[in-house]
Chain A
Amino acid sequence: MKMAEIICPMCGKPNPETVETCRFCQARLKPLHIDQNADQNGGTPDWLAALLGSQPEAAPSPQAPMDEPRSIINPPIEEAPLSSPVDETAENEDWLARIRQRTQEEGDAISRFGPEPVVPPEEERQAALAGEDWLKDLQGFSADQPESTPEPPAEPAQEDWLNRLRDQQSTEPEQFPQPAHETPAAEPEQPVDWTAVLRQAAEQAPAEPEPEPTQAIPDWMSAFQPPVEETPTVEPSKATSDVPDWMTPFRDQAQIEQPSEELKVEPAAEMPDWMSSFQPSLEETTPSAFEKTPEVPDWMASVRETGEEIPSANNQPETSESTTLKESVAGTPPEPAIEPIEPSPAAEESLDWMNAFIEAAPEETTTEITPQTNAEAPEWLKSYSEKLMGTVEPNPDAAVPAEETPEWLRSLAAASEVGLPGEETPQQSVPEQPDWLKSFEPAPEVPEKPGGETPDWLKEYEKDYTTEEQQPAEQTAAFSAETPDWLKAYAEESSIEHIPPLQATRPLDFVAGSSLPSGEPEKNAPFEGEVSVPAAPTQPFETSELPDWLSAEADQISGASENNAENIERIEPAQLPAWLQAMRPVEAVPLDAGVPIDDQHVEKAGPLAGLRGVLVGENSAAEYQKPPTFSTKLLVTDRQRLQANLLEEMLANENRPAEIHSERVQSPQLIGRLVTAVVLLCAILAALLIPFTNALPSDMSSPQTPAYRFFQIVNSLPEDAPVLVAVDYDAGLSGELSKASVGVIQNLMMLKARLTLVSTSTSGTILGEELLQDAAVGIPNYSVSASTVNLGYLPSGANSLQELASSPLYSVIGVPQRSNGDWSDPTLAGVQQISDFDLVVVLVDNADTARYWIEQVQPALGDTKLVMVISAQSAAIIQPYEGKQVAAMLSGLPGGMAYSAIAGFTGAPTRYWTAYQIGVAVIIVFILLGVILQGVLDVTNRQKSKNKA
């Protein structure tokens, strides 16, 4: 025998059986809880121990005592090798392996086309194996028990298979329970059609939400829970091809002589009566009854066949024969490798009730439960299947060979209102029903029960259910955590909507001859209420911990069941008032927050197997996904990019200087200037060279003119009068002013005036000297050197004039020029200060200098007149002073020419006048010409623009 390995329910990796935690994921492989009672009983549950104690010792099981209660929920995938004949063990292993394999394949096929099984294949296989083990145990029991009566003789068989279960649990590590219907390719030893029927029916049944377990109820019991009137949210049948878990024990028992490791059996002492009833039934069944029908499931046949060989088949590890079992249940022909086992009479009798499934299997309805019917399946099985599907009303008139119905099944049916198909009244006296089955009967019928005493554990179970009537349906399934997975699976697969209360959906209703579920909760049901049937009933005796009601308090159930039945009638399904619902803290929590908690979902693997309301780990894996990676690149749309570019351009334009548009030049500047210069020069040269005789206008020399007044002032001077001549013009305008003032100088020279030159400009003294020289040319008897003195340059402009006006001349001027070197020069005789001069003649080219003379000097002159010869460009500014501060003023060349004309001086000035006039005329012509040309161009351009428009 090979070393058994434990498949970790979390990661699915194999681990040696000796370890308690997985080497890879550190998940617990063996449950921690320890059943004390089991310890006391050598590791077997109390109820199983009790049963075993009341029963004759069966064949000693070579198995090791069960040290720990096995978890029925999660049976191990692989069975521990049990002490058994090698041949039988090998055969059973093969049979189981084949069944498992077939079951797994069917499950995969269904998962492809239908809902996927939640439980991984390994778990399914474990569940199948557990079911097989359970079935094998049943077969073993049936084989051991003589084919006499289905009742008490079952105890030795029970003891055998219970022992096998016990041994299995002790030798094999416990694993998480596996729903039978989700078991992978189980290894049916011998395919049995009726189980296939049930399996298919369970698979195709709509998923039902599992009610929340409120109490510890074995999984295998949960299948008998009343259906929950809720929308089935549970996934549909996960392994439709799998045999209902509750059926797998039958299947496994037929093939496996020894319970497998995965088989989590309850303590032998607490084996329910229904289990014991199976033993004789299994024994009583004849293989011929099944073999006659070509569609008899192999495992059913093997159940009968192996019923006698069950004890020898103990300790056989599950093999691939379980796949064969599944396949056979699904309707496939059994494997030829399956060793036919002659079922014991008890087994045959117990298998009679299975015929109903075979008969009911062909009737596929719209419900998800579509069991493969067997033509010769008992009617009660058929009807039961139909009721599971919820479309077929129980047909009490369905022909069900009464002789095929075991008595104990009839008794159950009679106890409940749901009568066996084919029976007239479901309340006929039936044989004594197992206590455990009595609990599933409706409450009102409890009194009608045939003598059978409801076991205490069942009573308590009933009581628990009755108290939960007012709770939501999901809560009434208190023992969903404790019910076998195979039972749960079966309950889940069946439609909750159509499944009446527990009593109606109990898979053993057919045993009692009760009607199939009618879709409505039956009254007086001991477990009336919205109780959801577990989707996939797990293998029996797979609960990790035995509920209390199965142990010491089992006696209370029987007594409370009666009261509960009444209460169930009165208690209506729980309807929370609005104000209470508003207070529910659950509502404050968003249902969508976090991982959705499916209350109907029963955990099928791991340490929380069998529990409801467990956070689904599978979903969390799907929810947690790789966080989105955000691109570091800035995502910019086209519009945003365009706007950004516009903004950038606007900001750049702020610092960018404004472009200066160059003027459009209509003609070259150089040519225009040259032409203008040439024309102007030619005109002026011509006027100078050509002796034009252009007499000065007479009005310019009229007595009312300024020139005449100037002439009068000058002529009013006595001879040898000291005259201050201020030469304050620059060399650039010397041509104008020299020509304008020469007449005045000549007039003064003619008057023998003593001329004193002074200047506030740097070139004024030199220009004054030149002026005197030019003027003296026309006056031969005037000596410039003897009659003129040059005081030089006076710096600081207005300050020096102020000083000149306020101080004596010698203090202002150092040494006069062209003098004797002192102030004793006869030119300066009698002149100490500026007011001593008889006339001050200022020759100036700009208005500021003229103002300085006017503002600084004129106030200090007293009676001395101030006259000016000013350039034409500044004459307008000084003209306001004329007549007051300035006695007389000559403005530019015209004024000088007028004075010369008045004074009678002719010659050069006349020519200058003509040239001046010609020059002015040319400029006037230029201006007018420019205006005309510009006007013509504008008109032309306007016309062109109009034409273009």
Chain B
Amino acid sequence: MKKMRAPIATAIAIAFGLIVLVGYFIPIPSLTLIRSMVISWAVILAAVAAIIGIINLVSVHVRKATNKTNQDRYSVVLLIGFILTLVFGLWLGPADSGYQKAVLAVQVPVEAGLMAVLALALSFASLKLMQFRKGWPGLVFLISTVLFLFLGSGVINGLQGVPFLKDVIAFVNHLPIAGARGILIGIALGSLVTGLRILIGADRPYSG
């Protein structure tokens, strides 16, 4: 049975992929309709997957919270918060301003705090930058970091009136764009190759 599963899944994946791709380039009404339907199914499946993920998360934490040998107390907190949020959300509705404020009151500080710690760690790492990365790559990285921090902070924005510095600053501002373009091209090409591999059956991420 396992041997039969692989080719069927592959066939289905290839078929639907071709339908969506062809329907995107060939505006046939039926094909477009099928394509829209398949995409709708994908969206629904993604939503269901999210729910399954939530259920899985809850079950894991429930298991950790109920484990006698190695009980995880944080799992209990998580479950409590989950339950309360679920209950209040269902009861008040997601549009309720109070509910939203409560959620935001917890959600925003937590995530913002994590981002702040990251900022401090990066600040400390910047202090020991040359200790770990000695040599020309480290020096170049150090110089570029300082330069773009200056440029981004707006400290040298006042120097853009200077003709030479303006051109230099403009040139420097365009350097990230060049890098970004290269990254985007690479991402695009990678995405294209990955899609083609799936369409031809070379990659089968769905077979497990």
What is the interface of chain A, defined by CB distance below 8 A to chain B?
666, 672-673, 676-677, 680, 696-697, 699-700, 730-735, 763, 765-767, 769-770, 790, 792, 794-797, 799-800, 802-803, 806-807, 811-812, 817-818, 851, 872, 876-880, 892, 894, 913, 916-917, 920-924, 926-931, 934-935
Contact across chains for B176 and A699 when beta carbons are under 8 A apart: no
Contact across chains for A732 and B124 when beta carbons are under 8 A apart: no
28 A-B pairs, CB-CB below 8 angstroms? Answer: A676-B123, A676-B124, A677-B123, A680-B120, A680-B123, A700-B157, A731-B108, A731-B110, A731-B112, A732-B114, A769-B97, A770-B104, A799-B42, A799-B46, A800-B43, A802-B39, A879-B180, A880-B177, A920-B150, A922-B123, A923-B123, A924-B149, A924-B153, A926-B124, A926-B127, A927-B145, A928-B146, A934-B131
How many Å lie between the Cα of A834 and that of B153 in the bound state?
36
B100 part of interface (Cβ distance < 8 Å): yes
Q: Which A residues are in CB contact (< 8 Å) with B153?
A: 916-917, 920-921, 924
Identify the closest chain A residue to B115 (Cβ): A732
Contact across chains for B149 and A877 when beta carbons are under 8 A apart: no
Q: Which B residues are in CB contact (< 8 Å) with A876?
A: 176-177, 179-180
Contact across chains for A767 and B104 when beta carbons are under 8 A apart: yes
B135 part of interface (Cβ distance < 8 Å): no
The residue from B115, B131, B187 contacting A733, defined by CB atoms under 8 A apart: B115
Contact across chains for A817 and B176 when beta carbons are under 8 A apart: no
Q: Which A residues are in CB contact (< 8 Å) with B157?
A: 697, 699-700
Contact across chains for B180 and A806 when beta carbons are under 8 A apart: no
B137 part of interface (Cβ distance < 8 Å): no
The residue from B50, B94, B112, B158 contacting A795, defined by CB atoms under 8 A apart: B50
How many Å lie between the Cα of A799 and that of B176 in the bound state?
30
How many residue pairs bridge A and B at CB < 8 Å? 159
Interface centre among A763, A767, A817, A876 (most CB of B within 10 A): A876
Contact across chains for B39 and A799 when beta carbons are under 8 A apart: yes
Q: Which A residues are in CB contact (< 8 Å) with B92?
A: none
Contact across chains for B36 and A699 when beta carbons are under 8 A apart: no
Q: A769-B100, A811-B40, A927-B142 are in contact. List 6 more A-B contacts (CB 8 A).
A: A673-B124, A766-B94, A795-B43, A796-B45, A924-B146, A929-B127
Q: Which A residues are in CB contact (< 8 Å) with B176?
A: 876, 879
Contact across chains for B123 and A796 when beta carbons are under 8 A apart: no
How many Å lie between the Cα of A880 and that of B177 in the bound state?
6
Tell me which residues from 80 to 131 in chain B have a Cβ below 8 Å from any Cβ of chain A: 94-95, 97, 100, 103-104, 107-108, 110-112, 114-115, 119-124, 126-131
How many Å lie between the Cα of A931 and that of B180 in the bound state?
28
Q: How far is the CB of B40 from chain A (nearest CB, A)?
A: 6
Q: Which A residues are in CB contact (< 8 Å) with B129?
A: 927, 930-931
Q: Which A residues are in CB contact (< 8 Å) with B149?
A: 920, 923-924
Tell me which residues from 170 to 201 in chain B have a Cβ below 8 Å from any Cβ of chain A: 176-177, 179-181, 183-184, 187
Q: How far is the CB of A916 from chain B (nearest CB, A)?
A: 7
The residue from A677, A811, A923, A931 contacting B130, defined by CB atoms under 8 A apart: A931
B152 part of interface (Cβ distance < 8 Å): yes
B207 part of interface (Cβ distance < 8 Å): no
How many Å lie between the Cα of A926 and that of B126 in the bound state?
6
B60 part of interface (Cβ distance < 8 Å): no
Identify the closest chain A residue to B128 (Cβ): A930
Q: Which A residues are in CB contact (< 8 Å) with B184?
A: 851, 877, 880
Q: How far is the CB of B190 from chain A (nearest CB, A)?
A: 12
B161 part of interface (Cβ distance < 8 Å): yes
How many Å lie between the Cα of A614 and that of B115 in the bound state?
111
Q: How far is the CB of B152 from chain A (nearest CB, A)?
A: 7
Shortest 7 CB-CB contacts between residues of A and residues of B: A796-B46, A732-B111, A930-B127, A920-B153, A697-B157, A876-B176, A731-B111
Contact across chains for B160 and A699 when beta carbons are under 8 A apart: yes
The residue from B47, B111, B130, B179 contacting A796, defined by CB atoms under 8 A apart: B47
How many Å lie between the Cα of A931 and that of B43 in the bound state?
51
How many Å lie between the Cα of A564 and that of B21 in the bound state?
131
Total B residues in contact with A, Cβ cutoff 8 Å: 57
Identify the closest chain B residue to A734 (Cβ): B108
The residue from B103, B124, B177 contacting A766, defined by CB atoms under 8 A apart: B103
B4 part of interface (Cβ distance < 8 Å): no
Q: How far is the CB of A62 from chain B (nearest CB, A)?
A: 119
B140 part of interface (Cβ distance < 8 Å): no
Q: Which B residues are in CB contact (< 8 Å) with A923?
A: 122-123, 126, 149
Identify the closest chain A residue to B103 (Cβ): A766
Q: Which A residues are in CB contact (< 8 Å) with B119?
A: 680
Q: How far is the CB of B28 from chain A (nearest CB, A)?
A: 14
How many Å lie between the Cα of A796 and that of B160 in the bound state?
44
B154 part of interface (Cβ distance < 8 Å): yes
Q: Which B residues are in CB contact (< 8 Å) with A802?
A: 39
How many Å lie between the Cα of A934 and that of B132 in the bound state?
10
B155 part of interface (Cβ distance < 8 Å): yes
Contact across chains for B107 and A927 when beta carbons are under 8 A apart: no
How many Å lie between the Cα of A765 and that of B30 in the bound state?
34
Known contacts A800-B43, A923-B149; A697 and B158 CB within 8 A of each other? yes
The residue from B39, B46, B115, B120 contacting A673, defined by CB atoms under 8 A apart: B120
How many Å lie between the Cα of A924 and that of B143 in the bound state?
10
Q: Which B residues are in CB contact (< 8 Å) with A700?
A: 154, 157
Identify the closest chain B residue to A923 (Cβ): B123
Known contacts A806-B36, A927-B142, A930-B130; A872 and B152 CB within 8 A of each other? yes
Q: Which A residues are in CB contact (< 8 Å) with B124?
A: 672-673, 676, 926
How many Å lie between the Cα of A917 and that of B180 in the bound state?
25
Known contacts A676-B124, A922-B123; A817 and B95 CB within 8 A of each other? yes
Q: Which B residues are in CB contact (< 8 Å) with A878?
A: 180
Q: Which B residues are in CB contact (< 8 Å) with A922?
A: 123
How many Å lie between the Cα of A877 and that of B178 in the bound state?
9
Q: Which A residues are in CB contact (< 8 Å) with B130?
A: 930-931, 934-935
Contact with A along B38-80 (1 / 0, CB 8 A): 0110110111001000000000000000000000000000000
Contact across chains for B104 and A766 when beta carbons are under 8 A apart: yes
How many Å lie between the Cα of A811 and that of B179 in the bound state?
39
Q: Which A residues are in CB contact (< 8 Å) with B154?
A: 696-697, 700, 894, 913, 917
How many Å lie between the Cα of A2 and that of B114 in the bound state?
128
How many Å lie between the Cα of A929 and that of B124 in the bound state?
11
Contact across chains for A672 and B150 when beta carbons are under 8 A apart: no
Q: Which A residues are in CB contact (< 8 Å) with B123?
A: 676-677, 680, 922-923, 926
How many Å lie between the Cα of A763 and that of B104 in the bound state?
9
Contact across chains for A730 and B111 when beta carbons are under 8 A apart: yes
Q: How far is the CB of A498 from chain B (nearest CB, A)?
A: 103
How many Å lie between the Cα of A676 and that of B179 in the bound state?
31
Q: How far is the CB of A763 from chain B (nearest CB, A)?
A: 6
Known contacts A803-B36, A876-B176, A894-B154; A795 and B127 CB within 8 A of each other? no
Known contacts A876-B180, A877-B180; A917 and B46 CB within 8 A of each other? no
How many Å lie between the Cα of A423 and that of B197 in the bound state?
135
Q: Which B residues are in CB contact (< 8 Å) with A730?
A: 111
Contact across chains for A796 and B42 when beta carbons are under 8 A apart: yes
Known contacts A697-B158, A926-B126, A930-B129; A795 and B46 CB within 8 A of each other? yes
The residue from B131, B145, B181 contacting A880, defined by CB atoms under 8 A apart: B181
How many Å lie between the Cα of A393 and that of B32 in the bound state?
146
The residue from A697, A766, A807, A892 contacting B100, defined by CB atoms under 8 A apart: A766
Q: How far is the CB of A556 from chain B (nearest CB, A)?
A: 111
Q: Which A residues are in CB contact (< 8 Å) with B145?
A: 927
Identify the closest chain B residue to A931 (Cβ): B130
How many Å lie between the Cα of A732 and that of B118 in the bound state?
11
Contact across chains for B112 and A877 when beta carbons are under 8 A apart: no
How many Å lie between the Cα of A879 and that of B94 in the bound state?
35
Known contacts A731-B110, A924-B149; A877 and B183 CB within 8 A of each other? yes
Q: Which B residues are in CB contact (< 8 Å) with A818?
A: 95
How many Å lie between the Cα of A733 and that of B42 in the bound state?
29
Q: How far is the CB of A45 from chain B (nearest CB, A)?
A: 109
Identify the closest chain A residue to B181 (Cβ): A880
How many Å lie between the Cα of A761 and that of B137 in the bound state?
37
Identify the closest chain A residue to B174 (Cβ): A879
Contact across chains for A699 and B161 when beta carbons are under 8 A apart: yes
The residue from A732, A807, A880 contacting B180, defined by CB atoms under 8 A apart: A880
